Chain A
Amino acid sequence: MNVNTAFSAGRLTLYLSGELDHHAAREAARTIDELLDEYLPRDCAVDMSGLSFMDSSGIAVLVRISRRLRDVGGRVWIENPSGQPRRVIDASGIDRLVPVAAGR
């Protein structure tokens, strides 16, 4: 599990790659917390194009990001989910809380 970032104009993009399960989630959540503290973004995009696996532990990470951004009046959305992560997003209904951006 890896988290890379890009930041511009108040928007932080988190590029997730690898497998986001319970084993990886604790460290991922800590890394993301630190990034949010460091950049204090207004908006946050979670790019999943490099994510090969995610389960409900990944859903919990998304909920956590959304809670933190909501506290400061910001927005969060998901970009480029595909394959297995996309199916988990659909099955869980997380897109009602963290929307999936229309493909660009």
Chain B
Amino acid sequence: MNAINYIKLEFPSLSCNEAFARTAAAAFAAHLDPTLEELGDVKTAVSEAVTNCIVHAYPDAVGRIGLRLRILHDGQLEIAVRDWGCGIEDVEQAMKPLYTTGGDERGGMGFTIMESFMDRLRVRSRPGKGTTVVMLRTIRSRRKRA
């Protein structure tokens, strides 16, 4: 699929980069002239995916996180968040609401929130190799909507 525009970022899995990642994603998505609500949805989904890399992929170390956003045809925004961390044994189980390996501090709602805020969510993971989360969201320009 040909992208009209894209950005690629890479940053270490430090929690202070969560706010940076979602703000950068929102700034890029602004090209599509989204509503405030759509921008909030993009920020939320990026925050969830990036936090998962920091908390789960690299629990005891600082690793690399990749964030790629692409604008595809017809106002489709594609968000890809990638890590080279521990990976997920059973992706289907991990995506179920309330499923968590994070103990008391986590609720197991991250994937559920990503799913409800995006049009599509795809998770590819290999234990020991890493995880890639790809999300799609169509953003209709406010001008065209009017």
Contact = CB atoms under 8 A, between A and B. Distances in A.
A63 B98 CA distance: 12
Interface in A7-64: 19, 21-23, 25, 29, 53, 55-57, 59-60, 63-64
Contacts of B22: 53
Nearest to B110: A56
B98 to A, nearest CB: 10
Contacts of B55: 22
Contacts of B48: 55-56
Given A22-B15, A23-B18, A88 B107 contact: no
A21 B113 contact: no
A95 to B, nearest CB: 13
Helix, strand, loop or mixed for chain B's interface? helix
Interface size class of A (residues with CB under 8 A): 20 to 34
Contact of B43 (A29, A53, A93): A53
Nearest to B55: A22
Given A83-B36, A87-B40, A56 B18 contact: no
B77 interface: no
A91 interface: yes
B106 A88 contact: no
Contacts of B44: 53, 55, 84, 87-88
A5 interface: no
A83 B19 contact: no
Contacts of B40: 53, 83-84, 87
A57 B112 CA distance: 13
A60 B28 CA distance: 29
A92 B113 contact: yes
A55 B22 CA distance: 11
B117 interface: yes
B46 to A, nearest CB: 9
Contacts of A91: 112-113, 116-117
12 contacts: A21-B18, A22-B18, A53-B22, A53-B47, A55-B44, A56-B113, A60-B106, A60-B107, A87-B41, A88-B44, A88-B113, A93-B97
